[in-house]
Amino acid sequence: MRLRDRIFKLLPGRILQRKTGNDGTRKEATVKLLVCGGFGNGKTTLAERLIAGGADDAPKSDDTHRETVEVTYKPFRLKTRDYLIVDAPGHDRFTQTLTTGAAGSDIAVLLVDVNSGVTVQTKRHALIASLLGIPHVILAVNKMDTVDYSKRAFNDVVKSFERFADTFDFSSINAVPISALAGENVVERSTNMAWYEGPLLVDYLEAAELEHDPATRPLRIAVANEKGGASRVFSGTVASGVARPGDSIVVSVPARTAKVASIKLGEGDGSEARPGQSVTIELDEEVETDDGDLIAAVDNRPEVSDQFAAHVIWTSGNDLFPGRTYDLAIGNRKVGATVTEIKHKIDIETFEHLAAKTLEVNDIGFCNIAVSKPVAFDPFESNRETGSFVLVDHETGAPVAMGLIWFGLRRATNIHWQALDVNKSARSSLKGQKSAVLWFTGLSGSGKSTVANMVEKKLHAEGRHTYTLDGDNVRHGLNKDLGFTDADRVENIRRVAEVSRLFADAGEIVLVSFISPFRSERRLARDLMEDGEFIEVFVDTPIEVCKQRDPKGLYKKAEDGLIKNFTGIDSPYEAPESAEIVLDTTKGSPEVMADILIAELRQRGVIA
């Protein structure tokens, strides 16, 4: 299997419109050129040299000590083409920045310092370029002037690159020895490297064939309709294809068809809408849409699914754990998402598939992903514009990963929710109560289980239907296969949250007593329940008091290093920021705490 068949592509800024002349004819597209390399390899110097050409304002000093930390975009022109040069940071801590900037590039220049040769960063950049679908790669071996223009030094670097280059699915790979500072073999042939008779760097740029024209892809328009609802008029951005009046279209998720009645571009009507253009389309009949739906060609529809397999580039310093929830942004749509399984990750040195339970920063993995509601998409290789997404941390709003969709999971379309006549409302009514989930969270020894047990005793005495899910008890059966690593804790809570939902659906009052240290997993549990059904109870007991209460001496063992991943010692606890109820068990007995909770249930109408 080729490497391109094993990985990924990104999101913003991919569409570069073809220019339109005064006569209405479309001219050659702007070429997006990525320049990447390790710190001190000469990226910015090369970029400045290309922009200046042979002019007097070419760079006078190298950029060895200037670190690029942000992507910069600069236009320039050679003899036959316009270019947009993307100068991307090379350090591995800026992988997210590099990947975002590189998206949609037509050519990648991989800059290598001849003195250090091919490095792990070179491999990473080549891998990312391949995953992003960049068709042409130029290996620019820089600083040849520092090795006395040695042909052997150049050949050694090329041979090192060739040892793994065949793994990649590039349309072309070429190598050229250069001195970016002097412009040698960049825009002018070097008199110091007479042994090199190949094309100059700019010649390779001019000769590369452009392969990606989104106008040739099936029609896809991402709808911007924040309020949702039925309408005949929609605004959006053309992601691919061309729309014209009279075309038959379909709105992806509701799968409603209509015809394009008119197209508006700016102030006036248009005869067609092309990739990258913001457009207002009037249909011949009303169609229901939500923000982020895709308008598509009726004879070439996108996939619609709530589960798919995707390659993911993880860029966050916080590890990815299967079962944890994130926000997924795809086009204009934002939905909840969970990585349900990591199938494998890729070894950056050997490009082999490795088993993995988590993804760390800069890891690239192949994952199954489930989203909270169906989304429309195309496999990445079919349509770069509608096959990529970004994962976002729900708490901070920061992007944590970028990915490309490989295929929809068949089970997502084969399995449908079975409607039942006896529902939650009927079950709750029969029991004379409303469903509720009291989620007790706090440190070990805080009193969660003690208070939960007292609440259930009092409710049971009133004839209420209850069930308690306790952290220790569940680990004897349902979760006996899980340990106490962060990844296992995430899965532990995911399973318990699903079980809690089943009990709530049965009309029960569920008492869940788990440390549940991470906000994201408690949010997952909350999101599974109906509005007002989830009641977070923060048992806010100081850790010093928890240690004093500890009958098994677990805190002492953890502090002595005998127990690993113990919450509050060497594993974090993220306290709730807006719990419905906060209990301080140092200020009252378990019975007093239980009475507070039962009073809250009465106030909420859970019990009369």
Instruction: Enumerate the active-site residues.
Output: 516
The sheet with strand 136-142 has its strands ordered as 72-77, 82-87, 31-37, 107-113, 136-142, 172-177
Nearest to residue 328, comparing CAs of 374, 296, 284, 295?
374
Structure tokens, 441? 């969270």
- Both tokens of 413, joined, read 């379309």
Rounded to whole angstroms, how far apart are CA atoms 46 and 178? Answer: 10
Would you say 13 and 237 are in contact if contact means Cβ atoms under 8 Å apart?
no
Encoding tokens for residue 15?
A: 């569409």
Nearest-angstrom CA–CA distance, 318 and 586: 34
Q: What is the C-alpha to C-alpha distance for residues 240 and 445, in angstroms, rounded to an integer?
A: 57
φ, ψ of residue 293 to 5 degrees: the values are -60, 155
Q: Which tokens go with 69?
A: 């930390």
Question: Residue 20, class by beta-carbon neighbours within 10 Å (0-12 exposed, 13-18 middle, 19+ buried)?
Answer: exposed
Q: Which two tokens stand for residue 49?
A: 């040299």
HEC assignment per residue over 560-585: CCCCCCCECCCECCCCCCCCCEEECH
| Cα 236–Cα 237–Cα 243 angle in degrees, nearest 5 | 95
Q: Pull the structure tokens for residue 505.
A: 């659906």
Tokens (6 digits) for 281: 């389309």
Instruction: Select from 152, 200, 145, 168 the least CA-distant residue to 3.
Output: 168
Of 388, 364, 370, residue with least CA distance to 312: 364
Contacts of 255 (CB under 8 A, 6+ apart): 301, 304
Question: Residue written as tokens 């001019």?
Answer: 206
Q: Transcribe 149-204 into DSSP letters.
A: T-HHHHHHHHHHHHHHHTTS--SEEEEEE-BTTTTBTTTB--SS-TT--S--HHHH
Amino acid at 26: R
Beta carbons within 10 angstroms of residue 15's beta carbon: 19
